[in-house]
Chain A
Amino acid sequence: MLEFTQQIVNGLSLGAIYALIALGYTMVYGIIKLINFAHGDIMMVGAFVGYFSLTLLGTNIMVAMVTAMIACAVLGVIIEKVAYRPLRNSTRIAALITAIGVSLFLEYITIFLLGPSQKVFPESAFPIKAYDLAGLSVLNKDIFVVVSAVVLMLILQYIIKWTKTGKAMRAVSLDQEAAVLMGISVDKTISITFAIGSALAAAAGVMYGVYYSTVNPLMGIIPGLKAFVAAVLGGIGIIPGAMVGGFLMGLLETMVSGYGSSLYRDAVAFGVLILILLIKPTGLFGKDTGEKV
């Protein structure tokens, strides 16, 4: 029983990181129907900004996280302006391929500038405290990632549901042309969407660095893919769905490793993607609305 509870703790903290990345994925998809494959790499850039903020500027972890979020928000807006905006009226597949191109660009420009080797996050940035709850090992960083993920999701949900910007986002998502007719600036709204999504990725990147101690230029690929599966599992485009999908993925992987075999973990994770696409392509939280005309 103790072991099972420990596995739940493991799964939740792994899931929190997936959920944070999935939030950005799902938000961008929800507004402009683009699967931003560069999202995992923006997370990597965020992790490096956090790393340099901690080591070169000697800031604390909160300042590092905010710096990374601001830097990546700017990066996200630039990427959207340069790479995605010229393609807004071309086919979906053109935008998708561009996203893969942006992803590779970010990975290899980072390798070019900083070298391919990993960098070690300074331990002093987030001193580890272990809480022993009757044999159950819970670390302060476990609590940190889970709480941050939930808080950021709630903020995001608030922005989208109750602010004017959020209203504009939902309008653009529903029908771009009608939104323009209502006096909404589509360009501005999409820029804000990318800024928020990239800031979330940066937050996830810094947390990943704190949690796993190292950052490297290709670190975004696998978590990015897993988060994509999480977003699809919850229903891509739906904010709470990404959250639930992320936690489910984390728990699922943990349970497969813990009670099945660690050798099948990734097979199960990507098997879920295939299953969900076959059985319920809209995801757990998705409604079958049919294609808009």
Chain B
Amino acid sequence: MKRNGRKKIAAFIIMVFMLAIVAGCGGETKDTGDNAGDKAEKINVGVNVELSGGVASYGSNARDGAILAIEQANADGGVLGMQINPIERDCKSVADEAMSVSAALVGEKIVAQIGPLTSGNVAGSTPVMMDNKIPLIAPAATAANVTVDDKTGATRDYIFRVCFIDPFQGTLMAQFAADNLQAKSAVIYCDNSSDYGKGLAEYFEKTFIEKGGKIVAKEGFVKDDRDFRAALTKIKGLNPDFIYVPGYYQEVAPLIKQARELGITAPIGGPDGWDSPDMVSVAGNEALNNTYFTNHYSSQDQDPNVVKFVEAYKAKYNKDPDAFAALGYDAVQIMIQGLKDAGEADSVKLTEALENITDFQGITGKMSIDEQHNPVKAGVVIEFKDGKQVMNTRIQP
């Protein structure tokens, strides 16, 4: 515990230095602006992310992606003739803190806020943004009620996101199973103890049936189950073309292992809850062949935009960008697009522009914002090949 604390302090000190460096850069660009002779204003953008606390890694990676996007835009001459000035604040992975950080950022006259990352922290920040009519762009908040009020069903006017909501991955996998794997029949074996699993199963079923497929059986397991052979034996008897397992890796890894031990050879698919090194160490390389999962993004994507982004990110930070970095980058990109469409750096006009964004080309796919402020966008399907995660294809809904 203590060591962890020390690490956090070290991380904090490094952050302060980085801030100082970023601030230094900002100063320089401002100077060049003055030299150019116009009285260029700055566009203040709040970056309210988790830089410490439980999900610090999500927040700092998204921040890295966002800052990269801002620096690139500034190097290209800024937006609307102005430089973007990022104001970074740490919400400490706490919803209350996210709210007070937002309030402080509003005081600094921001036109938009990037972050926070988790759905809970976005919810903390939401009332402040709504009251002040400033758009919030969430990079990775996947809960459905982030942009839509659960009780009234009304869209929250100033809250946007650039990631798809969780259950949408069910739709993507159903498309992949029906179109790419030519599956006609499928079994859903779902984690019934989480909304995540149930939502995914629902979307998968709907799309798979629309595609002309047939769901031959629905089975369920709960968190911490380790024995799946009874239901798997039953599934083996049904001989489906595809098995959909929406759940987390703790249960899915032994499940796949047992399925292969029982001689089930059908392809098995799942959501991003599968994304863990434990999948390989528990299930083994061989059992994982012919299994697929959906995700927001893959750093192995050969799309030229992604390749360019990965190179720039690596050059600046000397590490591979994960999904959070890519989503943070896209959150800034879509805001810049919105500012260009709006024609001026005004929060309300920016909000209108964001609502009308169509076919925006981001790193994590081409996206259009729908009436619930969710992006309609592509996802990637990742395949396990001899224990390695390999990007299989990109699925456009």
Binding site for B on A (CB under 8 A): 3, 6-7, 10-11, 14, 118, 120, 123, 128, 130, 132, 137, 139, 208, 212-214, 216, 218-219, 221-222, 253-259, 261-263, 265-266
B34 within 8 Å of A (CB atoms): no
* A254 adjacent to B261 (CB under 8 Å): no
Residues in B with CB closer than 8 Å to A10 are 227, 229-230, 233
Give B174-198 as 1s and 0s: 1 = Cβ < 8 Å from A's Cβ atoms: 0000000000000000001000000
Chain A nearest CB: distance from B283 CB in Å? Answer: 8
User: Which of the residues B224, B234, B250 comes within 8 Å of A258, measured between beta carbons?
Assistant: B234
**CA of A257 to CA of B221, assembled, Å:** 10
Residues in B with CB closer than 8 Å to A130 are 261
Residues in A with CB closer than 8 Å to B281 are 120
* A11 adjacent to B263 (CB under 8 Å): no
* A262 adjacent to B230 (CB under 8 Å): yes
B26 within 8 Å of A (CB atoms): no
**CA of A213 to CA of B226, assembled, Å:** 9
Residues in B with CB closer than 8 Å to A7 are 230, 233
Scoring B221, B227, B254, B282 by chain A CB atoms within 10 A of each residue's CB, the highest score goes to: B227
* B222 adjacent to A258 (CB under 8 Å): no
* A258 adjacent to B230 (CB under 8 Å): yes
* B227 adjacent to A118 (CB under 8 Å): no
Q: Is the interface of A mostly helix, strand, loop or mixed?
A: helix
**CA of A68 to CA of B281, assembled, Å:** 23
Residues in B with CB closer than 8 Å to A259 are 234
Chain A nearest CB: distance from B278 CB in Å? Answer: 6
Q: Could you write out 27 A-B pairs with CB less than 8 Å apart?
A: A3-B234, A3-B236, A10-B233, A14-B227, A118-B250, A118-B278, A120-B278, A123-B284, A208-B226, A212-B227, A213-B253, A213-B257, A214-B250, A216-B250, A219-B226, A221-B224, A254-B230, A255-B230, A256-B230, A257-B230, A257-B231, A258-B230, A261-B220, A262-B219, A263-B192, A263-B220, A266-B222
* A3 adjacent to B219 (CB under 8 Å): no
**CA of A120 to CA of B276, assembled, Å:** 13
* A3 adjacent to B233 (CB under 8 Å): yes
Give B258-297 as 1s and 0s: 1 = Cβ < 8 Å from A's Cβ atoms: 0001110000000000000010011010000000000000
B237 within 8 Å of A (CB atoms): yes
Residues in B with CB closer than 8 Å to A123 are 284
- In the complex, what residue of chain A is closest to B277 when comparing beta carbons? A120
The answer to whether A218 and B224 touch (CB under 8 A), given A7-B233, A118-B278, is: yes
3 pairs of A and B residues whose beta carbons are closest in the complex: A257-B230, A212-B226, A254-B230
